[in-house]
Amino acid sequence: MDVLQVAVASHRRPKLNAVWEALTVIVPLLDPAARFEVIPVEVPSPVRPTPLSRQETREGALGRAEHLRRQALEQGLPWQYFVGLEGGLDVWQDRGRRLVFLENWACVLDRSGRPGWGHSGGILLPEALASAVIEQGIELGEAIDRFAGASNVRDAQGAWGVLSANLITRQDAFRLAVLSAFAPFYNAAVYARSRTAPVSES
């Protein structure tokens, strides 16, 4: 039985659990006979601790995945997929009011460098929390601890859990991002068809 090795650019438990949960349903679609192994690797982020735009968050996820792929190719490691995960903010203006959403992004690369992208959707930050991160420059992990009156929230339910009364945890959000990012790989036939066949109008 083959073992599919998936490198993840983190040692954070919510991220690793999210990837593991996603792979339990993804891997049978990639190879029904394969088992999988999650390889955690600490990778420096190419962006600030709390990205302040969707673009910067995506760059963080991509940079982490690319770092893993380079490491595997340079060192001859047998990892087959490379997962970069990043959480950050997406700032909007709506009728003169600032809206700040927390989003989690995933970038998956295969050994050829082909990318897959996914994100969690977003949850609105209270203005006091958004201001602490954007105006005061406090990292979201520290800011949510202060906001929630707790410690190390990001390794538990995360800001997602605090804001959603634990209906959606940080792990849940990353799991959705990973499921979405792997879609071009486990549903390759659909993506190949979409590149060659125009969508007809009804």
Q: Is residue 106 part of a domain?
A: yes
Residue 12: name the closest of 49, 54, 42 by CA. 42
Q: Is residue 32 part of a domain?
A: yes
pLDDT of residue 152: 86
Whole-number Cα distances in Å, 100 to 79, 156, 162: 36, 22, 16
- How many distinct structural domains can be found in the chain? 1
Q: Is residue 202 part of a domain?
A: no
Residue range of the domain that includes 141 = 3-188
Q: Is residue 197 part of a domain?
A: no
What are the phi and psi torsion angles at 112 (to 5°)? -80, -10
Burial 104-114, CB ≥16 within 10 A → b, else e: bbbbbbeeeee
Q: Is residue 145 part of a domain?
A: yes
pLDDT of residue 145: 94
Residue 95 three-state SS: coil
Report the pLDDT averaged over residues 97-124. 97
Q: Is residue 163 part of a domain?
A: yes
Q: Is residue 200 part of a domain?
A: no
Is residue 196 pLDDT above 80, yes or no? no
- Domain of 44, CATH number, reads 3.90.950.10
Per the CB < 8 A criterion, the answer to whether 157 and 166 are in contact is yes
